Amino acid sequence: MSFVLLVEQILNGLQFGVMLFLMAAGLTLIFGVMGLINLAHGSLYMIGAFAAAATAAATGSFLLALAASLAAAAVVGVLVEMLVIRRLYDRDHLDQVLATFALILIFSEGTRWIFGSFPLFLEIPDYLSGPVSLPLGVQYPLYRLTIIAIGLVVAAGLFALIARTRIGIQIRAGEADREMIGALGVDISRLYTLVFALGAALAGFAGALIGAIQSVQVGMGEPVLILAFVVIVIGGIGSVPGALVGAILVGLTDTLGRFLLPIFFGTFMEPSAATSVGASLASMAIYVLMAAVLIIRPRGLFGAA
Amino acid sequence: MVEARSISPILSVRGLCKSFGAVTASRDVSLELAPGEIHALIGPNGAGKSTLIQQISGALTPDSGSVLLDGQDVTRLDVVQRARAGLARTFQISSLNMDDTVLQNVMLGALGRRGGRLPVFRPVMRDGALLAASAAALGEVGLTEVRAVRTAELSHGQRRQLEVAVALTLQPKVFLMDEPMAGLGVEGSQRLTGFLDGLRRRAPILLVEHDMDAVFALADRISVLVYGHIIATGTPDEIRNDPAVREAYLGEEMLP
Amino acid sequence: MQRETWTNLAILLGLLIVPLWAWVTDEPFTITLATRAVILAIAGVGLNIALGLGGLVSLGHAAFFGIGGYAMGVLASHAQAYSPLLEWPILIEGTKSMPMIWLVAIIAGALLALAIGALSLRTTGAYFIMITLAFGQMLYFFMISWPAYGGEDGLSIYVRNGFPGLNTLDPIQFFAICFTLLVLVLWLFWQVNRSAFGLALGSARQNPDRLRAVGIHPDRTLLVAFTISGAVTGLAGALFADLNRFVSPTMFSWQTSGEIMVFVILGGVGRLMGPVFGAVLFVVLEHVLGGVSEFWHIYLGAILLGVVLFARGGLIGLIAGRAVAHG
């Protein structure tokens, strides 16, 4: 194991982590403010990716593709919120789970109906492709580095939005006491739609960014959604800082687990056995992390006790 | 009941302290409950009565101090263990299984009283011993007629009675009653007052109550909690004439 | 209540008559569809113990369905390859005997549910949903990356496992086995619901504070229910694998968890026959809509959305009235 390889893996873990943060931030905000558990968040991720791939294919512009992903996910988010989600705020979690599961079925099959079953591809633009040289002789893909930078900028923007702006004050008030913000004269249903659209846009944006690394296909959202749940459980439901810390932890644990565990088993096992045992255990690493957090802090690292 | 104080107390709360950050909810609270007595705990809103009840019932752990039940230190026990040790509480806001029938609610109490493993392959509604205990408790509070009714369909007053009936099935060493009169009309309060008056012979009652008529009619002793601290304990007459108590209650409620 | 009893009997009778009619008219495919519905119903009854009686919204029941499936796959694959499962410290051979496989599937499902439940029940509400979903996904990825039993491709079992005195390859006989097990599992659900344990479980669902106040631990009660639930769903997994003569990590996927929950809800949560009705409806929809359109999941989604938004209490609730039968 070389130092350069390790740094590269750590950066991969960070990149994975910030992408998970974009998903988890929206989910945790929607839960914190509206008390809604939204399984269809992964569909918004997928919609963002498809919108980006289709726009890039039509216009050739990556920036337009990113803009399209934000717009499409936000618009679908607003529509879904107004047509379905808003009827679920007063329902129990079971109804929320079922209704949003139904939305996954509708969105996934709808997308397959429009775009077919074959994956689409979103090309990384020339100006973001190729490696860059970092200090200490590390070479790293510019695009992945850009994702890390964008993710951190979005995180900073989100913190500023929540800490500094009027909307942020309303969001925090809503997390503290849902009845109270009505009394403060805030238009609750507008606030809810706005928060949902914000979460949707972040998910769609994440889908587009990752769409350029992986293929764009139906069903791409749900594995990410479940990882985002793991992030939220670790960070604490409703906490945006918790989502950031949880996301980075999960990203690093998963990436480094896949990298280091086979090497570790290789020190005392045959190479092929070490690879398979290492890979099997690495696939469980983040869930073991989640279980450990549950045992120590059942409400998550940043959750209220 | 003055002589009761020399007998060893059933429930003894010693020096309880509890803070939430900068807010002190309980400050060196001590009180005792002797056999056969009704000891009322009163205090203005926000005095820390709920926090105190939670520490006695086991829902909250005090920062310092201890709770003794029949000589046994239960300070570190949780709600379930304290219930098993003989503490029966009723809730300020009726806390019942609303989808179940009235009978099922008291059966649950009788089941808890019996303890042990819960059988999976025997119909609970054919368990003669549990049924007898439940029927007795329902009869005592006067809910026999509505035993097959879904609890959600009961009136507020009936729910208060059912709360008490569940506590009866537990056959506890101590009753901890959190505002049992809350929301009852004058007539309902008077009836419950009469009932509790007789109940003290079975087990002493720590009664947290806002209804001053009931408190002064029932209590052998009264403790007054203000800002998390007990400022006075004494007989109803002593409390009525205590200057500190009168000051604390000035403009709040009239002491009869 | 009375009307629900009649509805229940009608459903069960219908589920018996259709495959018998198909047997008479020699339509084995219909029998297989009915068998599929019966097996999915068993999985649903399993979930209904946790979800309907205990109020535990588990989105990870695919874990127990999957482990039951792999109990069958692993045992049968060793038997068909004549290689022992374990040689040291004790010799464990594979088996092609259904009762043995069921026993292993039930125990495996129970143990896994005990472990997942013990961790997940440290929390409640939305956390519980996310955590059960995550543990299900963990097993899915583990099965994919573990190469010993087929990895992503799964395992094929060439001949259906045997049951003493029956020809399990005959569709109607295999159906009879599964139907009998469904009746047994329904009996178990009914017994649990009306027992002292069921009374406590109902309180753990409705009002855990009340249960604590009478001296019973809600968490332990729920954990026992979750374990029973996992055992029943594990049994369904073994049968499902035997029906298809194939197991793959798909049995562990989150969609499987979601679909099992859909059966329970479509039929009516907490109702004895809710999952049976839901599973039958699911298989019929899958067959009928699947014939109409390749994208039948859109219609399924729309129906589910409609039931959740407008028909709480499930479809049995629509037929038999709203009140849920308890005791």
Burial A206-234 (b: 16+ CB within 10 A, else e): bbbbbbbeeebbbebbbebbbbbbbbbbb
Instruction: Please check the confidence at residue A277 and state whether its pLDDT lies above 90.
Output: no
B124 touches chain C (CB under 8 A): yes
Q: For an interface test with B, give the residue of C1, C190, C210, C221 to mutate (most B CBs within 10 A).
A: C210
Residue ranges matching CATH 3.40.50.300 in chain B: 1-86+173-256
Supply the DSSP symbol for A60.
Answer: -
- pLDDT confidence tier of residue A141, bands split at 50, 70 and 90: very high
* Two structure tokens written together for C270: 């907490």
Contacts of B101 in chain C (CB under 8 A): 327
Q: Which strand (E) or helix (H) includes residue A231?
A: helix A221-235
Q: What is the pLDDT of residue A27?
A: 94
How far is B72 from B139, CA to CA, in rounded Å?
32
Q: How far is CA C161 from CA C34, C73, C148, in A?
A: 19, 10, 21
- Neighbouring chains to A with at least 3 Cβ pairs closer than 8 Å: C
Question: Tell me: the pLDDT tens digits for B17-52?
Answer: 999 888 889 999 999 999 999 999 998 888 889 899
- pLDDT confidence tier of residue B84, bands split at 50, 70 and 90: very high
Q: What is the pLDDT of residue C319?
A: 72
Contacts of C217 in chain B (CB under 8 A): 80
C144 touches chain A (CB under 8 A): yes
From C133, C269, C309, residue closest to A229, measured CB to CB = C133
For residue C275, what is the domain's CATH number?
Answer: 1.10.3470
In-domain check, residue C326: no
Residue C166 pairs in a beta bridge with: C163
Shortest distance, CA C172 to any CA of chain A (angstroms) = 33
Q: What is the pLDDT of residue C121?
A: 95
Beta strand spans in chain C (E): 155-156, 246-247
The per-residue DSSP string of C73-97 comes to HHHHHHHHHT--SB-SSS-B----B
- Contacting B with CB below 8 Å, chain C residues are 191-192, 194-200, 202-203, 206-207, 209-217, 221, 324, 326-327
Contact across the interface for B99 and C214, Cβ inside 8 Å: no
- Characterise C82 by phi-psi region: left (phi > 0), alpha (psi -120 to 50), beta (else): left
In-domain check, residue C192: yes
Place of tokens 């009914």: C190
Q: For an interface test with C, give the residue of B120, B127, B149 to mutate (most C CBs within 10 A).
A: B120
Question: Tell me: the pLDDT tens digits for C135-158?
Answer: 999 999 999 988 888 889 999 999
A93 touches chain C (CB under 8 A): yes
* Two structure tokens written together for B150: 């879904």
Q: Which CATH superfamily is domain B1-86+173-256 in?
A: P-loop containing nucleotide triphosphate hydrolases (3.40.50.300)
Is residue C293 within 8 Å of C51, Cβ to Cβ?
Answer: no
* Two structure tokens written together for C292: 């109409």
CB atoms within 10 A of CB A250: 28
Shortest distance, CA B230 to any CA of chain C (angstroms) = 26
CB atoms within 10 A of CB C164: 7
Q: For an interface test with A, give the residue of C143, C305, C310, C312 to mutate (most A CBs within 10 A).
A: C305
Is residue B104 within 8 Å of B147, Cβ to Cβ?
Answer: no
Q: What is the pLDDT of residue C326?
A: 38
Q: Which strand (E) or helix (H) includes residue B225?
A: strand B221-226
- Give the rounded percent of residues in chain A with a pLDDT score beyond 90: 65
Question: Tell me: the pLDDT tens digits for A62-95?
Answer: 999 999 999 999 999 999 999 999 999 988 999 9
Shortest distance, CA B222 to any CA of chain C (angstroms) = 25
Q: What is the pLDDT of residue C169?
A: 92
Contact across the interface for C196 and B122, Cβ inside 8 Å: yes
Q: What is the pLDDT of residue A305?
A: 54
User: Which of A226-230, B1-5, C216-220 shows the lowest per-residue confidence on average (mean pLDDT)?
Assistant: B1-5
Contacts of A300 in chain C (CB under 8 A): 127
Beta strand spans in C2-92 (E): none
Question: Tell me: the pLDDT tens digits for B155-172?
Answer: 999 999 999 999 999 999
Instruction: Please check the confidence at residue A144 and state whether its pLDDT lies above 90.
Output: yes
Shortest distance, CA A280 to any CA of chain C (angstroms) = 5
Shortest distance, CA A50 to any CA of chain C (angstroms) = 18
Instruction: Please check the confidence at residue B256 and state whether its pLDDT lies above 60.
Output: no
Question: Tell me: the pLDDT tens digits for A103-119?
Answer: 999 999 999 999 988 99
CB atoms within 10 A of CB B251: 7
Supply the DSSP symbol for B178.
Answer: E
Shortest distance, CA C250 to any CA of chain B (angstroms) = 34
- Phi, psi of A237, rounded to the nearest 5 degrees: -60, 135
Q: How far is CA A209 from CA A22, A60, A218, B237, in A?
A: 11, 15, 16, 77
Three-state SS at C40 = helix
Torsion angle of C-alpha atoms A71, A76, A81, A85, degrees rounded to 10: -140
How far is B188 from A227, CA to CA, in rounded Å?
56
Report the alpha-carbon angle B103-B109-B112, nearest 5. Answer: 140
Query: Exposed, middle or buried, B197 (CB in 10 Å: 0-12/13-18/19+)?
Result: middle
- pLDDT confidence tier of residue A1, bands split at 50, 70 and 90: low
Contact across the interface for B88 and C213, Cβ inside 8 Å: yes
Are chains A and C touching, using the cut-off of 8 Å on CB pairs and a minimum of 3 such pairs?
Answer: yes
Per the structure, the count of domains in chain C is 1
Q: Of B26, B38, B6, B5, which is closest to residue B206 (Cα–Cα)?
A: B38
A175 touches chain C (CB under 8 A): no
For chain A, the average pLDDT equals 91
Sign of CA pseudo-dihedral C132, C134, C137, C138:
negative
Instruction: Please check the confidence at residue B6 and state whether its pLDDT lies above 60.
Output: no
Q: What is the pLDDT of residue B1?
A: 43
Tens-binned pLDDT, residue by residue, of chain C (327 aa): 577 888 889 999 999 999 999 999 999 999 999 999 999 999 999 999 999 999 999 999 999 999 999 999 999 999 988 888 888 788 888 899 999 999 999 999 999 999 999 999 999 888 999 999 999 999 999 999 888 888 899 999 999 999 999 999 999 999 999 999 999 999 999 999 999 999 999 999 999 999 999 999 999 999 999 999 999 999 999 999 999 999 999 999 999 999 999 989 888 888 899 999 999 999 999 999 888 888 888 998 998 999 888 876 667 777 766 544 333
B79 touches chain C (CB under 8 A): yes
- Neighbouring chains to C with at least 3 Cβ pairs closer than 8 Å: A, B
* Two structure tokens written together for A22: 């974009």
Q: Which residues form the domain of C54?
A: 2-320
C63 touches chain A (CB under 8 A): no
Residues 8-67 of B with CB under 8 A from C: 57
Beta strand spans in B7-151 (E): 11-20, 23-33, 38-42, 64-69, 72-73, 87-90
Q: What is the pLDDT of residue C325?
A: 38
C189 or A180, which is more confident? C189
Instruction: Output the CATH code of domain A12-121+134-296.
Output: 1.10.3470
CB atoms within 10 A of CB B2: 9
Instruction: Please check the confidence at residue A268 and state whether its pLDDT lies above 60.
Output: yes
- pLDDT confidence tier of residue B5, bands split at 50, 70 and 90: very low
Give the mean pLDDT of B172-182. 93
Q: Which strand (E) or helix (H) includes residue B115?
A: none
Question: Tell me: the pLDDT tens digits for B107-139?
Answer: 999 999 998 889 999 999 999 999 999 999 999
Q: What is the pLDDT of residue C327?
A: 33
Q: Of A127, A138, A198, A96, which is closest to residue A2 (Cα–Cα)?
A: A138
Contacts of C324 in chain B (CB under 8 A): 99
